[in-house]
């Protein structure tokens, strides 16, 4: 077969890879077809996955679309995902669930050259979680966990108007109205109060 005969077939295959949208319920997937493709070959993947809660954030699901692209050195994963986390309210100290939007933007490096089968030289400081293994499998778990940590609010609130705990008796002001009189005063006013008295 001449190149002219093959070319349309090759081109249409690249197009299919580009336009196909796969729905995955797993966090690991095989990227051999992308690594074999020319630079710039990309694939849209719809993720709809649930998994055991991750360390630190308790994240247990992701939904949304990401793009995987063959770039110099590896596979670039990017996209926005709807996700969740479990955290502690900074006012009332109660655990609660919240929704998070995760921004993925990672480059995964292949452990093996897919064409030659040789081991690929990787930079010494490469995080093993972002290496595509010898079976050409890419695992999104750590990328999701790290972006969930970044997305968590600094002072999470179970609700915007959480009344918090009473500093005197420790009761939850969302549940009970205690009769304590808060004696906590801004220390910066102390010296002025003393001058005036
Ligand atoms: Zn609260
Ligand atoms: Zn109280």
Domain residue extents for the chain:
3-162, 163-197
On the 0-12 / 13-18 / 19+ scale of CB atoms within 10 A, 174 is: middle
Q: For the residues 59-71, what does the mean pLDDT come to?
A: 96
> pLDDT (tens digit, 9 = 90+) per residue, 94-106?
999 999 999 999 9
The per-residue pLDDT of the chain, averaged, comes to: 86
User: How close is the Cα of 189 to the center of ligand 2, in Å?
Assistant: 23
How does DSSP assign the chain, residue by residue?
--HHHHHHHHHHHHHHHHH-EEEES-SEEE-HHHHHSPTT-EEEEEEEEE-SPPTTT---EEEEEEEEEEETTEEEEEEEEEEEEEEE-TTT--EEEEEEEEEEEEEEEESB-TTT-PBPP--TT--GGGEE-TT-EEE-HHHHHHHHHHHS-SS--SSTT---B-TTT--BTTT-----------GGGHHHHHHH-
User: How close is the Cα of 83 to the center of ligand 1, in Å?
Assistant: 21
User: How close is the Cα of 182 to the center of ligand 2, in Å?
Assistant: 8
**Which pLDDT does position 78 carry in this prediction?**
97
- C-alpha distances in Å from residue 155, one per residue of 84, 85, 100, 167: 16, 14, 14, 18
Neighbours of ion ligand 1 (CB under 5 A): 89, 91-92, 158, 162
Does this model's pTM top 0.85? My answer is no
User: How close is the Cα of 147 to the center of ligand 1, in Å?
Assistant: 24
- H-helix or E-strand spanning residue 34: helix 32-36
Query: Predicted confidence band at 195 (pLDDT cuts at 50, 70, 90)?
Result: low
Report whether pLDDT(9) > 70.
Answer: no
**Which pLDDT does position 25 carry in this prediction?**
75
Q: For the residues 128-147, what does the mean pLDDT come to?
A: 96
**Which pLDDT does position 3 carry in this prediction?**
45
User: How close is the Cα of 93 to the center of ligand 2, in Å?
Assistant: 16
User: How close is the Cα of 173 to the center of ligand 2, in Å?
Assistant: 8
Share of the chain above pLDDT 90, in %: 73
Report whether pLDDT(193) > 70.
Answer: no
8 Å CB contact between 68 and 31: yes
Q: For the residues 128-135, what does the mean pLDDT come to?
A: 96
> pLDDT (tens digit, 9 = 90+) per residue, 82-125?
999 999 999 999 999 999 999 999 999 999 999 899 999 899 99
C-alpha–C-alpha distance, residues 129 and 136, integer Å:
13
Terminus-to-terminus CA distance in the chain, angstroms? Answer: 101
Share of the chain above pLDDT 70, in %: 81
Residue 144: other Cβ atoms inside 10 A? 24
> pLDDT (tens digit, 9 = 90+) per residue, 14-30?
444 544 566 777 899 89
Ligand nearest to the CA of 174: 1
CA angle 38, 41, 43 (to 5 degrees): 150
Report whether pLDDT(12) > 50.
Answer: no
Report whether pLDDT(40) > 50.
Answer: yes
66 versus 183: the higher-pLDDT residue is 66
User: How close is the Cα of 170 to the center of ligand 2, in Å?
Assistant: 6
């Amino acid at each position: 077969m001449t190149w002219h005969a093959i070319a349309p077939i090759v081109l249409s295959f690249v197009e299919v890879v580009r336009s196909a949208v796969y729905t995955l319920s797993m966090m690991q997937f095989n990227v051999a077809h992308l690594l074999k493709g020319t630079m710039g070959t990309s694939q849209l993947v719809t993720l709809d996955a649930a998994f055991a809660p991750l360390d630190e954030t308790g994240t247990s699901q992701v939904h949304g679309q990401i793009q995987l692209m063959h770039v110099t050195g590896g596979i670039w994963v990017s996209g926005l995902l709807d996700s969740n986390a479990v955290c502690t309210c900074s006012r009332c100290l109660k655990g609660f669930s919240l929704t998070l939007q995760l921004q993925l933007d990672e480059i995964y490096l292949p452990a093996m050259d897919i064409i030659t089968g040789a081991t690929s030289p990787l930079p010494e400081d490469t995080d093993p979680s972002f290496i595509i293994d010898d079976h050409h499998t890419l695992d999104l778990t750590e990328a999701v966990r790290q972006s969930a940590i970044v997305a968590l609010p600094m002072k999470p609130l179970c609700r915007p108007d959480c009344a918090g705990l009473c500093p005197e008796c420790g009761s939850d002001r969302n549940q009970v109205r205690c009769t304590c009189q808060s004696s906590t005063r801004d220390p910066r006013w102390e010296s002025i109060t003393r001058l005036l008295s």
